[in-house]
Amino acid sequence: MARISLDPQQSFSYRIGSWFLRRQFGEVLDPFRAQGHNVRVAKAFGKLEQQVAKWDKLDPRLRDLADMTAAVTVGCPWCTDLGYWLLHTRGIPHEKVEAVPRWRESDLFDPLERLVMEYAEAMCETPPAVDDDLVKSLRAHLDEAELVELTAIVAVENYRSRFNSALGLMPQGFKERCEVPVSLAA
């Protein structure tokens, strides 16, 4: 259960943000509902998210795996729920999304994906455990702009995950939207 009310005052700005989120996700996202108690925080975070959505240097598949790995590493149930849905809607196979928490034991990921997930994990440790060898390995595959974007997306997800976890935000049912119902026909 959330540690903060998810029913903030319905200011004009909050209503606009709610409309936008319903349009994009089908419902108002709980992190925005929590942020709605402080309109300046909600606006700043909304602007950040709009800019993050425009980043285009890193392969989207790598970006999504890094994002999901960060959410799993921090342990944010809300973020992993939304992340599962986002990755599913972007065409990443169900089996691969399910394997992110145990990527080291899975044979579903290529060497670059493994490096990206290792980097995301290392960045989310406290203190961060990124070392020169890991960056050197990534640099064999990524240019500087891609590495900066990878680092930024993991940092943004770390922020999201820690914010949402601290406020006790729980899954909102996004993963269930992806589940394929078992056919009743035999």
* Residues 106-161: tens digit of each pLDDT: 999 999 999 999 999 999 999 999 999 999 999 999 999 999 999 999 999 999 99
Q: For residue 186, is pLDDT > 50?
A: no
* Average pLDDT of span 155-174: 97
2 inside domain: no
Confidence at 185, pLDDT banded by 50, 70, 90: very low
Q: For residue 58, is pLDDT > 50?
A: yes
In sequence order, which ranges of 26-76 are alpha helices (DSSP H)?
30-35, 39-52, 60-74
Provide the domain count of the chain: 2
Helix (H, G, I), strand (E, B) or coil at 173: coil
Other Cβ atoms less than 10 A from the Cβ of 10: the count is: 10
Domain with 33 in it = 12-54
Residue 165 token pair: 């976890």
* Average pLDDT of span 47-51: 96
Together in a domain, 29 and 80: no
Contact 85, 24 (CB under 8 A): no
* Residues 22-42: tens digit of each pLDDT: 999 999 999 999 999 999 999
Can you spell out the DSSP letters for 10-23?
Answer: --HHHHHHHHHHHH
The pLDDT value given to residue 179: 65
The pLDDT value given to residue 177: 83
132 inside domain: yes
pTM: 0.91
* Residues 60-106: tens digit of each pLDDT: 999 999 999 999 999 999 999 999 999 999 999 999 999 999 999 99
Task: Please name the residue that has the structure tokens 């849905």.
Answer: 85
Confidence at 180, pLDDT banded by 50, 70, 90: low
Together in a domain, 47 and 72: no
CATH number at residue 101: 1.20.1290.10
Contact 96, 67 (CB under 8 A): no
The pLDDT value given to residue 176: 87
